[in-house]
Structure 1
Amino acid sequence: MTTPALAFVTSLRHPHNSRDYRAVEEQFAAGLASWMRQTSPRFAVIVVANRQPPLPDDPRVRFVQVDFPPPSDVAGPRTGLAAVVRDKGTKLAVGLAAARAAGARHVMFVDDDDFVSNRLAAFVAQHPDAAGWTFTDGWRINVERRALRAHRGDFHLQCGSSHIVRTDLLPDVPAGAPTQEQLYAAMGDRLERWLGSHMHIHDDIELAPLPFPGALYRVGQAEAHSGNSLSGWSRPVSAAVAREFGVPATGLAPWSLARAVLPSARAVRERLRRR
């Protein structure tokens, strides 16, 4: 197997913190299919979860199982930020160790339901010594509506799939199968600040802006932690975007185009409620 230039590291929430875990696995499967479309073979995917989801028989994909407890008693995805950061941060730390063991020079922490550009692995392979990149530009996508909205300049403040970092710049992870407490003790506040959250790592590590939109932030699905939606006016998913990110393009029928462009019923209701 070729040594990966880039490892995509993702985590799946605890099954207890879900209304429909099969939907979580289906959303992850769509994201994984996107990540696997890289134009360069020099990548790996590390999946960390309490329960193994269906995975392709591909040596580039590795599953790491953990037995961390649910971070919240809430039997659903709206667990609150502290629970999300703890669960996500500790699982991504385990994934970081696996990425290093695979020889990856760079790592991207990617949310399990987001989509990424198929150019990332090739781009990273061309810049092996770079500290990394922040995705300042990207898109929100509602897959069901086949609709997009661009985010320019602040995408990294909206989406968890928005940084690539050289692995040696990230904190060391305890060997073996560390507990969450051991991970916190070893990594300190960087565990939550850099891994559990996407809001601070670009403030602490000097990362260059990625020179092209690198990810699609999937919104509008019931099992998302954030509950964010596309809202408002949007644009159709073009054939070019569909090819690059591995998502379905908008159909050409008038109804399909209207559904992609016009605000959703949910967005209209929210706007009326605010007024």
Structure 2
Amino acid sequence: MLAFITSVRHPRNSSDYGRVEELLRHTLASVCRQTCDDFTVVVACNRVPAGTFDPRVEFVVVDFPPPVTTAGPRTGREAVLRDKGTKMAVALLAAQRHRPDYVMKFDADDFVSRRLAEFTSGGSGPGWYVDEGFVVSADTLLITGCADFNSRCGTSEIVANRMYDLPTDLPPLDAGQDELSARLGTRLVRDLLGSHRSTVSHFAAAGSPLQPVPFPAAVYAIATGENHSGRTWMDRGRPVTRAQAEEFGIAHLRHPRAWVALARQEAARAGSRLRPRTGHPGPGATG
């Protein structure tokens, strides 16, 4: 059993919460397209989003305050780690009723390969990380390959449930943020669930290294207008192919305007090649 877990930001921590819900609907549709039925999905959120969802998706509502008092998606790293980490902890606790073998965190606006549940089925090791994936722009609808994916995107770790070393006496699902951190440990809540930067090195140092997934396994969405990172730009890309749409459930990103963006991209690159380099005479210049 593979448990996919995610968190949804506080409604105040967004520019447009309707947009947050729309992104989540597309993401959950992607996650639920697995080729193997041995999976479940748990979402921790401040309120159940609007829409109709696959019956395998479970929503757990928390009463956590906004991570910061100002409105908007950019909150600062520490606020994100606390809000996301404690919500992910609640999702992880809720997933325990399914007795998962593996747990995969995913961000609520990204996409995953439909082969992951089948890939992890029958596994016995400590887990995997996504080393190869894609980045897609919600603005241009262009997609490009992304190496070292785990260092860039949180939708990138599949960890054996036992590796989280949860206590026998689990906190209740309605536990507060301070109680979750105290009983599960700051290392788990803040660093392993709230972030993705140290997970691979943490388990390697513990003598249980995660292995790379042997195929591109996730898509990092940027320029959604609601990214914590604020990243909006990439310097290359191609329109989403039919194969990519099928693999990751991103048919909604296949649109004719991607070809317009591609033409603009290629024109800009051609113009860049024609511009003279600093310190060298341009076309027609005399010495």
1:190 corresponding residue in structure 2: 188
Please give the per-residue CA displacement for 1:4-47, whole angstroms capped at 9, x wherever unaligned. x1111010001111121111000000101101110111111101
CA distance in 2, matches of 1:79, 1:67: 18
Spell out the pairing of 1:219-258 with structure 2 (5 A cutoff): 219-248=222-251, 250-251=254-255, 256-258=258-260
Spell out the pairing of 1:197-236 with structure 2 (5 A cutoff): 197-205=195-203, 206-236=209-239
Structure 1 stretches lacking a partner, 5+ long: 265-274
C-alpha displacement at 1:57, in angstroms?
5.3
Spell out the pairing of 1:91-240 with structure 2 (5 A cutoff): 91-127=87-123, 129-152=124-147, 154-172=148-166, 174-176=170-172, 177-186=174-183, 187-205=185-203, 206-240=209-243
Amino acid at match of 2:152: Q
Work out the percentage of aligned pairs sharing the same amino acid: 41
- Kindly indicate whether the alpha-carbon contact (under 8 Å) linking 1:108 and 1:165 is maintained by their aligned counterparts in 2: yes
CA distance in 2, matches of 1:22, 1:65: 17
2:44 corresponding residue in structure 1: 48
CA distance in 2, matches of 1:247, 1:179: 36
Point out the structure with max Rg over C-alpha. 2
Equivalent pairs counted in the alignment come to 259
RMSD: 2.1
Per the alignment, do residues 261 and 175 of structure 1 end up closer, same or farther by CA in structure 2, a change over 3 Å counting? farther
- Kindly indicate whether the alpha-carbon contact (under 8 Å) linking 1:143 and 1:247 is maintained by their aligned counterparts in 2: no
Spell out the pairing of 1:7-86 with structure 2 (5 A cutoff): 7-54=3-50, 56=52, 58-86=54-82
CA distance in 2, matches of 1:44, 1:116: 14
Per the alignment, do residues 55 and 170 of structure 1 end up closer, same or farther by CA in structure 2, a change over 3 Å counting? farther
C-alpha displacement at 1:196, in angstroms?
0.4
Per the alignment, do residues 101 and 239 of structure 1 end up closer, same or farther by CA in structure 2, a change over 3 Å counting? same
C-alpha displacement at 1:212, in angstroms?
0.6
- Kindly indicate whether the alpha-carbon contact (under 8 Å) linking 1:109 and 1:161 is maintained by their aligned counterparts in 2: yes
CA distance in 1, matches of 2:232, 2:99: 37
Per the alignment, do residues 32 and 158 of structure 1 end up closer, same or farther by CA in structure 2, a change over 3 Å counting? same
Structure 1 counterpart SS, 2:247: helix
C-alpha displacement at 1:229, in angstroms?
2.1
C-alpha displacement at 1:215, in angstroms?
0.4
Per the alignment, do residues 260 and 9 of structure 1 end up closer, same or farther by CA in structure 2, a change over 3 Å counting? farther
Per the alignment, do residues 60 and 235 of structure 1 end up closer, same or farther by CA in structure 2, a change over 3 Å counting? same
**Under a length normalisation based on structure 2, what TM-score does the superposition of the two structures give?**
0.85
- Kindly indicate whether the alpha-carbon contact (under 8 Å) linking 2:32 and 2:54 is maintained by their aligned counterparts in 1: no
**Under a length normalisation based on structure 1, what TM-score does the superposition of the two structures give?**
0.88
Structure 2 stretches lacking a partner, 5+ long: 204-208, 267-277, 279-287
Structure 1 counterpart SS, 2:44: strand
C-alpha displacement at 1:55, in angstroms?
5.0
Q: 50-59 or 102-111: which moved more? A: 50-59
Q: 73-82 or 56-65: which moved more? A: 56-65
CA distance in 1, matches of 2:202, 2:52: 36
CA distance in 2, matches of 1:230, 1:139: 14
Structure 2 counterpart SS, 1:16: coil
CA distance in 1, matches of 2:254, 2:63: 40
- Kindly indicate whether the alpha-carbon contact (under 8 Å) linking 1:147 and 1:261 is maintained by their aligned counterparts in 2: no
